[in-house]
Amino acid sequence: MKKSLQKLKEIDTELQLISHTSALLGWDQETYMPRGAVEERARQQALLSGILHDYLTDTKVGSLLEACGVSEENLKGDNNLDERDRAFLRKFSREYFRETKIPKDLVVAFSEEASLSQAQWIEARKKSDFSLFAPHLQKILDLSREKAEKIGYTDHPYDALLDEFEPFATTASIKKIFSSLKPELMDLVRKIAGSKQVDDSFLLKNYPVREQEAFGRTVLQDLGFDFNRGRLDVSAHPFTTSTGSDDVRLTTRYQENQFRTGIFGIIHECGHGLYELGFPDDIKVSILAEGTSLGIHESQSRTWENIIGRSLPFWEYYFPKLKDMFPNQLRDVNLEQFYKGINKVEPSMIRVDADEVTYPLHIILRFELELALISGELAVKDLPEAWNSKMEELLGIRPENDAEGVLQDVHWSFGAIGYFPTYALGNLYGAQFFNSMKKSLGNVDDLIKQGDFGIILGWLRENIHQYGSIFTAEELCINATGEPLNPVYCSKYLENKYRSIYGF
């Protein structure tokens, strides 16, 4: 059994190396690859996907898992193995059983279409023309439905897709969370709308990109991001990817007349990057060196971006430095005005630029549309109108064009159906983790005010990062906070913060 386990770990290492190679090609496509290289890049990615699929689903892998006592009913294998090895087997066997149900030709077709679709999405977004992207989205949906049928599900085909990003979650569980969250958020938005609006006009002045980037890099280093093991670049849509255990790449985007976009994109992606760089040496280049779920991953980025990065103590430390860098833009602005300005709540079209109150409503919109698309209740041709109508229902605004509406997110183009709910879960997990951090560390605001982020990062390393995928999301949450996911922490955080800002 020990020999079989060791052989599985060797196979896993090679799978991770191939995955990192594919991630590097994906990062290059989003940052520096010339436009004319799209078709061959799609073939390269499809080839690697096929190789990964063949490698993972080889019959010898099934035999090795069986020798370790693994079955679909017992993913963790023999009880005599230590818990770290059983966690490895649970994670590896889930991937194995999932992939063996999906034919290789479907894997290759999905990968190739994702690369082509992504490139076409960029073009369609530039021209604000959904019709250019619609045929590719139709193919992505058809392939996603086929994948869901092959994998199997109990209640809804969306379950099979959601499980890829948020293991063990179900459509029913997400519906339950969102059904209670949605009216609370809409009520909070109404309370804020009935209060005197804060001024953020100073954030809409001209902030040269070069200076924005310099400031952002300083913040990144202060928060603990290691530029010897990572980098920051620009892309159409901010993202983080690991092209190696010691090679974590962040991207952001800048707008000269909207200061929030660049800096909070950087802090958000920093949270993802710190998680990826926080896996210990004994699980590096293994399937355990991953976030246990994308909801947990998102909790790290949303905690740094919003709970810390948009807090008053954070800007007590950074505002003088920012004012030195942009003296003309911030000449007549004091700390309180700046703090309120960066936390202005106002329904807006673009998800990545949304404030933290309205942001989850953007996610609920996408979740409801995804369910309708996958079930066939909503046709692709009707998606722009459905999108616009839901924007009116949830946020009270209506997009004027496809670029600020249905084409604003990259996720559907590369086949990430089932991904969006994890963004809202990240807000919930983040607030719960931060509540436990405060109980453990005492006055966290004083640490932030002093720019002492190392202690905060240390708590996250100890309670979240070091475990990678050893625990499930639920297990990790219970270990770190003493209870399963509880949305009340996020609701209380938002209510208290914005009551203070808006005085309702």
SS3 for 289?
coil
Phi first, then psi: what are they for 248, rounded to 5°? -110, 125
User: Is 404 an annotated catalytic residue?
Assistant: no
CB atoms inside a 10 Å sphere around CB 197: 12
Report CA-CA distances (Å) from 496 to 15, 93, 198, 330, 503.
Answer: 46, 44, 17, 27, 10
How far is it, in rounded angstroms, from Cα 249 to Cα 254? 17
Give all strands (DSSP E) within 165-209, no chain letters.
none
For the beta sheet containing 230-234, the strands, ordered from the edge strand earlier in sequence to the opposite edge, are: 230-234, 247-252, 240-244
Q: Which residues contact 248 (CB under 8 A, 6 or more apart)?
A: 229, 230, 240, 241, 242, 273, 276, 277
SS3 for 443?
coil
| 248: β partners | 230, 242
CB 393 within 8 A of CB 364: no
How far is it, in rounded angstroms, from Cα 14 to Cα 20? 10
How far is it, in rounded angstroms, from Cα 11 to Cα 34? 34
Phi first, then psi: what are they for 285, rounded to 5°? 50, 45
How far is it, in rounded angstroms, from Cα 359 to Cα 341? 17
Cβ burial, residue 228 (10 Å; 0-12/13-18/19+):
exposed
What type of residue is 360?
Answer: P
CA angle (355 as vertex; 353, 361 as ends), nearest 5: 95
The three-state (H, E, C) secondary structure of 316-330, written as one string = HHHHHHHHHHCCCCC
Which entry of 99, 269, 276, 298 is annotated as an active-site residue? 269
CA angle (378 as vertex; 372, 384 as ends), nearest 5: 110
Report, as residue numbers or ranges, the catalytic residues: 269
